[in-house]
Amino acid sequence: MGIKTVFGNNLHFYRKKKGFSQEKLSEELDISTKHLSDLETGKSFVSAELLENISNVLQISPSALFYTPEEKFIDETDWSKIEEIITQEAEKAITTTKIRISELKNN
């Protein structure tokens, strides 16, 4: 699958996920509906400036538009879970360290 196709499929997916019609997203991006359709079908490719605008409007990382379904990328939900795990593990480490220091003082 080519990069234009991957990008187009992801653009279509995130547009739908965020509840945008092609007309509404085109309006938000200040591009024609035809241009958006061409991007989604892989007939044309995105410029850096348009990529930035798309990611801002859809509230996604620009990189999210370049992964195939087989490639797992970390979305905001995953980051939230990762932060929660890190916090829990840090709290455990602090508690364990305090216990070990207390044991050293008592010996």
How many helices and strands, by DSSP H and E, does the chain display?
5, 0
Helices 33-40 & 22-29 angle (0-180, nearest 10)? 110
The predicted structure's pLDDT at residue 73: 60
- pLDDT per residue over 4-14, tens digit each? 999 999 999 99
CATH number of the domain bearing residue 30: 1.10.260.40
* Identity of residue 76: E
13, 61: one domain = yes
In a shared domain, residues 89 and 46:
no
Please determine, for residue 83, whether its predicted confidence score (pLDDT) is greater than 90: no
For residues 67-74, give the mean pLDDT. 69
* Domain of 58, in residue numbers: 1-70
Same domain membership, residue 103 and residue 56: no
Residue 80's pLDDT band, with cuts at 50, 70 and 90, is: confident
Structure pTM?
0.66
What's the domain count of the chain? 2
pLDDT tens-digit readout, 56-68: 999 998 988 988 8
Residues 45, 61 within the same domain: yes
One domain, residues 66 and 80: no
DSSP tag of 7: H
Flag whether pLDDT at 76 surpasses 80: no
- Are the C-beta atoms of 91 and 105 separated by less than 8 Å? no
